[in-house]
Amino acid sequence: MRPTVFILFVLYLPLAESATLQVENQSNYLAILITSAGGSLCTPNEQQLRPCLILPLSRRAYALSDAQALSATLRLISLPQAHETDMSSLQKHAFKSVSDFTYQPVGPLRYEQVRCETPMNEGVSINIVLVDVMDVTCSTATDRHISWVYKRNDVNLKFIVKDLPAKQR
């Protein structure tokens, strides 16, 4: 009788976890700087002194809170020096390409909104993946500005930044 009770108990546990944000930097020469407006996405700890800076060829994942709204911008930065430490001075080297998201898990209207924009001449693409829902890339003249809102707040977000191949002349 006990195993049956245990099985029934497991069936009533919530199946969905909090949404996550994954940022994958596949660029060889750009870093990604995340700036948050509201909420705390990049809280420093002993292992990550600069958790909001994602260096070339690296990735980072963040858990999004079920109880806290959050807006953040992902800026692409050309690193002037490998040892640059001042986060505010890094913004001087920002590209025009940008991506951002708003995560609203509380209140009467719950939603996630994502956007990306890439000028044609910066040689970079931003791939937005709504895990198990949609995959969109900002990289050409026809899709360099994409924006949409969806009324779910449990979709895992993934941003992938890639270098575009050089154009043949």
Cβ-based neighbours of 52, under 8 Å, separated by 6 or more: 33, 34, 35, 36, 41, 42, 87
70-78 and 30-37 beta bridge pairing = antiparallel
Q: Which of 152, 124, 143 is nearest to 56 (CA)?
A: 124
d(CA 137, CA 145): 10
**Spatial strand order in the sheet of 124-130:** 58-63, 20-25, 157-163, 124-130, 134-138
d(CA 106, CA 68): 7
Write down the pLDDT at residue 45. 55
123, 76 Cβ separation under 8 angstroms: no
> What is the pLDDT tens value at each position of the chain, 169 positions in all?
444 333 333 333 334 457 889 999 999 989 998 888 766 677 655 555 566 889 999 999 988 888 888 899 999 988 766 555 566 666 677 788 889 988 888 888 888 888 888 887 888 889 888 888 888 888 765 566 667 777 777 888 899 999 887 665 5
Write down the pLDDT at residue 17. 56
Scanning the structure block, which residue is given the tokens 């709204």? 69
